[in-house]
């Protein structure tokens, strides 16, 4: 067994969402090579700190990219302000896993719901022979709590054969606004046995052990367990259980590792214009081309534009590239309700090694990411209402597609990088298994055609 005080490529998320733990970004060292990408999933388990709350379980999709300047760590996206790996500063946006449990609880009856939030932050990363130091300042970015939080974390890396461990200790100083929003009782919410109470600012402590096991050179099993001690003023709240907050996670991930990197600067820009209609086909039959009907009662439609940049090419020498796309989709609700916009962000894997691709380049792509709707699309509202289920603006996003080079097909070299194709735009709550996505069981499918070119 050897102890190494150096960056460890861990594939884990900040855990114990509902407890608002003092956890820094433990994905920071997973992808050691700038330009790498990784995919996986994590199953989280924890008990919210509220009175009589049950253990909750949450499936979190894991999308990762580590660039020279930009990174994606699951729900966190950031920009690196320097070029050093041992000492660096970052700006980031992240999702705060905190808020009331999804199930109804007597202790919280009659209270306004406390929800998760988007947070912005600045971070310092220090990697030395004595261990890893992480300092973060976070601020409520969408005015949910109007709160702030300081986090200081220290960790060390231990390696033994295929086993890798990272014990860590974190302290978090939370502002009064942050604690009062999630753990306070407003005067108008007071009830018998639940007096008005505001905990004010406080300090939380977290001790955790994260680790992974190398199944192969690329595949890893991962897990973690930790305990958070909330500030005494929070534990005295009439809606909080006075006990340590324990949580755990298990998961698996694939690190695509070595690759041919796209050069800087001069990376091409992809522009894709699409249009399509809603379908009642389920996702898998639509992807397998066993269902292609766009006849629906409402005949709702979408129009959109995607902008993409390449991330990595020829992963492990395969005809496989990765690209990042951000797109805006406009929903035409056919006058049945107000139209709305939809923002999609995804990492797209693209395979082009089909037998005839030397003559006519053909690409099979699969995108995965998140979709945020200005208004929940009508097709989702109707389907979920029939099933007696809720809706959510933020859902998981899947985007499989197939296309071919127009230039190859007609013998025009100038159009070689212009592609025509079809795809499926799929919003999904992952069968109600994800707190991040509002525990939604349902979604929507749109079949669309598109043209894409490289600038």
Tens digits of residue pLDDT in 232-256? 999 999 999 999 999 888 888 887 7
Can you point out the beta strands (E) in 162-283?
A: 163-174, 202-214, 219-229, 245-255, 260-261, 270-278
d(CA 57, CA 45): 5
- pLDDT(135) > 80: yes
The H-or-E segment that residue 75 falls in is none
Our measurement of the distance from residue 106's CA atom to the centroid of its chain's CA atoms, rounded to an integer in Å, reads 31
Under 8 Å between Cβ of 180 and 198: yes
User: CB within 8 A of 44, min separation 6: which ones?
Assistant: 13, 15, 17, 57, 58, 59, 60, 247, 248, 249, 435
Of 239, 255, 271, the residue that ends a domain is 255
Long-range contacts formed by 1-5: CB under 8 A, 24+ apart: 1/158, 1/159, 1/160, 2/158, 2/159, 2/160, 3/156, 3/157, 3/158, 3/159, 4/157, 4/158, 4/159, 5/128, 5/129, 5/130, 5/131, 5/132, 5/156, 5/157
Q: State the CATH number of the domain containing residue 110.
A: 2.40.230.20
One domain, residues 274 and 202 = no
Say which range, 2-11, 62-71, 219-228, 267-276, has the weakest mean pLDDT. 2-11
The confidence score (pLDDT) of residue 11 equals 36
The confidence score (pLDDT) of residue 266 equals 57
* pLDDT, tens digit, 9 for 90 and up, residues 322-364: 888 999 999 999 999 999 999 998 889 999 999 999 999 999 9
Hey, what are 245's tokens? 């907050």
Percent of the chain with pLDDT over 70: 88
Q: Are strands 394-405 and 418-428 parallel, antiparallel or unpaired?
A: antiparallel
Of 231, 255, 279, the residue that ends a domain is 255
Hey, what are 9's tokens? 């490529």
The confidence score (pLDDT) of residue 432 equals 67
The confidence score (pLDDT) of residue 9 equals 37
One domain, residues 281 and 409 = yes
- Number of domains observed in the structure of the chain: 2
Say which range, 56-70, 112-126, 179-193, 437-451, has the weakest mean pLDDT. 56-70
The confidence score (pLDDT) of residue 30 equals 53
Under 8 Å between Cβ of 326 and 345: yes
Under 8 Å between Cβ of 9 and 31: yes
One domain, residues 375 and 334 = yes
One domain, residues 83 and 15 = yes
Of 202, 229, 255, the residue that ends a domain is 255
d(CA 100, CA 56): 11
Can you point out the beta strands (E) in 352-442?
A: 362-373, 394-405, 418-428
The confidence band for 7, taking pLDDT boundaries of 50, 70 and 90, is very low
φ, ψ of residue 83 to 5 degrees: the values are -115, 0
One domain, residues 36 and 84 = yes
The confidence band for 257, taking pLDDT boundaries of 50, 70 and 90, is low
The confidence score (pLDDT) of residue 438 equals 67
Q: State the CATH number of the domain containing residue 403.
A: 2.40.160.20
Q: Peptide bond before 268: cis, by omega within 30 degrees of 0?
A: no
pLDDT averaged over every residue in the chain = 85
One domain, residues 264 and 242 = no
- pLDDT(158) > 90: no
* pLDDT, tens digit, 9 for 90 and up, residues 13-49: 333 333 344 444 545 555 555 556 778 888 888 888 9
The H-or-E segment that residue 158 falls in is strand 157-160
* pLDDT, tens digit, 9 for 90 and up, residues 413-441: 999 999 999 999 999 887 666 767 666 77
d(CA 259, CA 365): 18
Range of the domain at 356: 260-454
One domain, residues 24 and 53 = yes
- pLDDT(55) > 50: yes
User: CB within 8 A of 173, min separation 6: which ones?
Assistant: 149, 150, 201, 202, 203
* pLDDT, tens digit, 9 for 90 and up, residues 173-191: 999 999 999 999 999 999 9
d(CA 211, CA 160): 11
Q: How many CA atoms lie within 13 A of 94 on its CB side?
A: 29
One domain, residues 20 and 67 = yes
One domain, residues 248 and 280 = no
d(CA 279, CA 296): 6
One domain, residues 245 and 273 = no
Average pLDDT over residues 398-420: 95
Say which range, 30-39, 70-79, 101-110, 298-307, has the weakest mean pLDDT. 30-39
Cα torsion 273, 276, 282, 286: sign: negative
Hey, what are 48's tokens? 């919210």
One domain, residues 173 and 35 = yes
101 versus 139: which is more confidently predicted?
139
Q: Nearest-CA neighbor of 159 among 41, 9, 37?
A: 9
Average pLDDT over residues 199-223: 88
Average pLDDT over residues 61-81: 81
pTM of the model: 0.76
Say which range, 50-54, 228-232, 265-269, 291-295, has the weakest mean pLDDT. 265-269
One domain, residues 225 and 279 = no
199 versus 143: which is more confidently predicted?
199
d(CA 29, CA 7): 6
Cα torsion 176, 179, 182, 187: sign: negative
């Amino acid at each position: 067994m050897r102890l190494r005080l150096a960056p460890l490529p861990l594939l884990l998320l900040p855990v114990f969402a509902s407890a608002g733990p003092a956890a820094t970004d433990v994905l920071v060292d997973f992808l050691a090579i700038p330009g790498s990408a990784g995919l996986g999933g994590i199953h989280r388990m924890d008990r919210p700190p509220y009175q009589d709350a049950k253990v909750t379980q949450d499936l979190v999709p894991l999308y990762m990219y580590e660039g020279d300047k930009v990174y994606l760590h699951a729900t966190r996206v950031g920009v690196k302000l320097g070029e050093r790996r041992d000492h660096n500063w970052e700006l980031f946006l992240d999702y705060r896993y905190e808020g009331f449990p999804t199930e109804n609880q007597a202790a919280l009856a009659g209270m306004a719901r406390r929800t998760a939030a988007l947070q912005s932050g600045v971070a310092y990363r220090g990697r030395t022979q004595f261990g890893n130091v992480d300092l973060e300042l976070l601020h409520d970015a969408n005015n949910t709590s109007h709160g702030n939080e300081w986090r200081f974390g220290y960790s060390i890396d231990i390696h033994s054969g295929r086993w890798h461990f990272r014990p860590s200790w974190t302290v978090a100083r939370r502002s009064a606004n942050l604690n009062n929003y999630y753990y306070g009782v407003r005067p108008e919410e007071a009830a018998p046995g639940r007096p008005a109470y505001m905990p004010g600012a406080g300090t939380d402590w977290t001790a955790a052990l994260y680790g992974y096991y190398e199944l192969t050179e690329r595949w890893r099993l991962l897990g973690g367990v930790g305990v958070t001690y909330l500030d005494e003023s929070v534990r005295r709240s009439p809606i909080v259980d006075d006990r340590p907050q324990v949580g755990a996670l298990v998961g698996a991930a694939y690190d695509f590792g070595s690759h041919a990197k796209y050069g800087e600067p001069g990376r091409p820009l992809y522009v894709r214009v699409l249009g399509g209609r809603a379908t009642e086909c389920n996702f898998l039959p639509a992807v397998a081309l066993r269902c292609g009907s766009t006849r629906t009662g409402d005949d709702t439609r979408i129009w959109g534009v995607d902008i993409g940049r390449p991330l990595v090419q020829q992963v492990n020498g395969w005809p496989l590239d990765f690209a990042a796309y951000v797109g805006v989709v406009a929903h035409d609700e056919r006058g049945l309700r107000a139209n709305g916009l939809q923002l999609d962000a995804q990492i797209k894997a693209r395979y082009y090694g089909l037998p005839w691709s030397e003559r006519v380049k053909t690409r099979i792509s699969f995108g995965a990411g998140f979709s945020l709707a200005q208004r929940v699309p009508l097709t989702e509202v109707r389907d979920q209402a029939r099933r007696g289920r809720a809706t959510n603006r933020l859902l998981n996003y899947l985007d499989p597609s197939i296309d071919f080079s127009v230039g190859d097909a007609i013998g025009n070299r100038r159009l070689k990088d212009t592609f025509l194709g079809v795809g499926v735009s799929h919003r999904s709550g992952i069968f109600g298994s994800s707190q991040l996505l509002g525990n939604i069981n349902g979604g929507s499918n749109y079949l669309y055609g598109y043209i894409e070119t490289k600038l």
